Each structure stands twice: as C-alpha cells, then as structure tokens.
Copies of this chain bind each other. A is one copy, B any other.
Amino acid sequence: MKASVKSDYACRAVEALALHHPNARPLRIEEIAHREAIPANYLVQILIELKSKGLIQSRRGKAGGYALAKAPREITVGDVLRAVQGDVLEMPLLLESRCPEEIKRAWRRIKQAAEQAADDVNFEEICAEAKSRPEMYYI
C-alpha cells in the first residue's frame, strides 16, 4: 500500500485554499500550483475532482478561481482522499471470494484504522499548524 503523489497534491491544494479562506477573491490554478509546487496541468484535473465531490467551488472568467465550499473545519483529510481516489484505503480483494474471511477481517481492521486517522484530521488543524510555523508565509 502506497500513498500516491496525487493524494498529496490534493491535500496541499486544499491546504492552500484553506489558508486563503475566507478571502472573497478566489485562488487561480496557477497561484495554487506555484505556491505548492504542483504541475498546473495536473492540478487542474485534481481540482475538478475535488469540486465534483463538493469540497471546493470555482468561478470562471476574469477574477475566477477556486475557493473552499465549506469551512476548513468541515473538511478532513479523509474527505480529500475519498474525493481523489475513491477511498482512503482501497481493498478490491475484500470483494473476491478466494480470500478467507479471517484474512478479510484483518484487512478491514487496517482499513478502518487508516480511515479513522484520516477523518480525524481536518484542515482547520492543519492551517493552525501551518500558521504556527514562523517560516511559513501565508495570506
């Protein structure tokens, strides 16, 4: 089981939007990409997924960009992971019949532990940590 770069980008993008919250001016893709050192062309696709899951909202045209759709406290890392990869920990093998039930139970316990940990971190906390770091600049 390996954490993907995409999931990391998604969390960092949401963090950037959370740090900018609740500023009326939305953040442009290029701004987020530059701040978080994420390839803009890839970030586009990630933002779309986050939007389709209702975590962020967008506006087009001049003065367009992205903003959170809810308060940072209402968004967890688990929400972001589910938005970009379907589930915090994907286990297709749970659906297959060749795996005995007792092994499946062990997998489920691991899955639930990871999910709980992911849902236990919201972006208000993350922002608080970011702001407490003196070397971090934010707007």
Contacts and interface: CB of A to CB of B under 8 A. Distances in A.
Interface string A56-72: 00000000000000000
B90 A2 contact: yes
A12 B113 contact: no
A136 B126 CA distance: 47
A103 B130 CA distance: 9
A117 to B, nearest CB: 4
A46 to B, nearest CB: 14
B101 A126 contact: no
Interface of A: 1-5, 7-8, 11-12, 15, 36-37, 77, 81, 85, 88-93, 98-103, 105-107, 109-114, 116-118, 120-121, 126-127, 129-130, 133, 136
